[in-house]
Chains A and B, each alone.
Chain A
Amino acid sequence: MIAIVDYGVGNLYSLTCSLRHIGVEARVTRDEAELRAAERIILPGVGAFGDAAGQLRALKLDGLLRELAGRGKPLMGVCLGMQLLFDRGLEYGVHEGLGLIRGQIVPLGPIAPGLKVPHMGWNSLDILKPDDPLMRGVRPGDYVYYVHSYCAQGCGEALVAASQYGVAVAGVVRSGNVCGTQFHPEKSGEVGLAILAAFAKGAASC
């Protein structure tokens, strides 16, 4: 069973439906026992970094997710959920993230001057690590759907795939069993479904 973390942030209907569509049963939950029992965990999210990080802390999910990730449980963040995996976010102040991937989340505007913010729409993927399990069904240049105003900076070796928007925007990141996508795989058509399937049906360690 895959657990989708329910911490009051974002709309989980499409994510649940897309997993069901590829034959994966997912449970939307914030229950500790269920999260511990899950084979894999997806951390979703839309909205502001600080609010979401605060919400994870208030529900005592931050420590639990760190612990489970530390024990090797595959964890995938989507959009804001991916951003929360990083050390910190600079959205309306400085906020601590889960610290599972090195780097920070910065505003896109100043590093992509002259371009519209939010970065919204379909952008093509440059795949830096074609052997990453998430990239199994993805070809270079495949399109995925982004909506975001902040992006990961300084993720170094964790960068798996990127999209060009003035700068190389981190699209897919991974550090061991912890991975994430800045775009919405549940809204990225067949390519997105392939990425979700790669996570949901991947090897036990990633």
Chain B
Amino acid sequence: MLTKRIIPCLDVKNGRVVKGVNFEGLRDIDDPVALARFYNDSGADELVFYDITASFEGRPLFADALRRVAAEVFIPLTVGGSINTLADFDRVLKCGADKVSVNSGAIRNPSLIAEAAKRYGDQCVVLSLDVKRVNGAFHVFAKGGREDTGLDALDWVRFGEDHGAGEVVVNSIDTDGVRNGFDLEMLSAVGDAVSLPLIASGGAGRREDFLTLFALPRVDAGLAASIFHSREVEIKALKRYLNENGVPMRL
């Protein structure tokens, strides 16, 4: 039976993990390899790395970190952040990424989705979007959620599916950081719009939020960052809890 997936997300800057990571027993808590290994041992089903390095000079540091992670951790790795061209796909795939997530880069240049799918296969192209309600509609926001593109989120994911995206990650700006549960209304709407695997992001605060999330049949995975990094929710215990409550999990 196909399981639902739990995916921690790590922000990486200049080759080091940033943002609220607080682990006991890990000597080097900023080291992407140490954290990847920790999450792998905790039962994470995949890992997502976002390169938030602002400078061009920092890119090789990310590539090196990714290469080291891929050499030691043998679960799927998705990479996002600053993916604007096929050359960016190439750069991270060569370092061991399995999937590449595009967001603003695809909004600026929508043909990137089809070009990347043609060259690397649909399974490799993850369309990631930040969504916020505007006058009752779901709008796609760019630039890390700061800019309303005016694009309708449901139209955008349908476009992505038609042009070869293999998976969708939807982050709700409305629920992100609130820790009061995922944006079920928006996720249902996106799930009904496309038949691609759907990863939900934004709003997880407690383990119960994942149980509510997976009650939506069209959601395949839950992604979160801070609650895993802070260890408020431990992945192993979370997966056991979900499994006991009828959600298929890889234990």
Binding site for B on A (CB under 8 A): 11, 13-14, 17-18, 20-21, 46-48, 116-124, 143, 145, 147-149, 163-165, 184, 186-189, 192-193
Q: Is the CB of B5 within 8 A of A122?
A: yes
Q: Provide a sorted-by-A list of 29 A–B residue pairs whose CB atoms are within 8 angstroms.
A: A11-B96, A11-B98, A13-B95, A14-B70, A14-B74, A17-B71, A17-B72, A21-B74, A46-B120, A47-B120, A47-B121, A116-B197, A116-B220, A118-B197, A120-B166, A120-B197, A121-B197, A124-B1, A143-B3, A143-B250, A145-B75, A147-B76, A147-B123, A165-B2, A187-B75, A187-B98, A188-B74, A188-B75, A189-B74
Report yes or no: B72 in contact with A116, Cβ–Cβ below 8 A. no
Does residue B45 face the partner (Cβ distance < 8 Å to A)? yes
Contact of B1 among A147, A164, A187, A192 (CB under 8 A): A164
Could you say which interface size class chain B belongs to? 20 to 34
Q: Measuring CB to CB, which residues of chain B are less than 8 angstroms from any residue of chain A? A: 1-3, 5, 40, 45, 67, 70-72, 74-76, 93-98, 120-124, 166-167, 195-197, 220-221, 250
With A21-B72, A123-B1, A186-B74 known as contacts, the answer to whether A14 contacts B96 (CB < 8 A) is yes
Q: Which of B71, B93, B97, B123 contacts A120 (CB 8 A)?
A: B123
* Chain A hits for B195, CB < 8 A: 116-117
Residues of B within 8 A of A21 (CB): 71-72, 74
Q: State the CA gap A56–B75 with chains docked (Å).
A: 28
B221 to chain A, nearest CB (A): 8
User: Do residues A187 and B74 form an inter-chain contact, with CB atoms below 8 A?
Assistant: yes
Contact call A122/B96, Cβ cutoff below 8 A: no
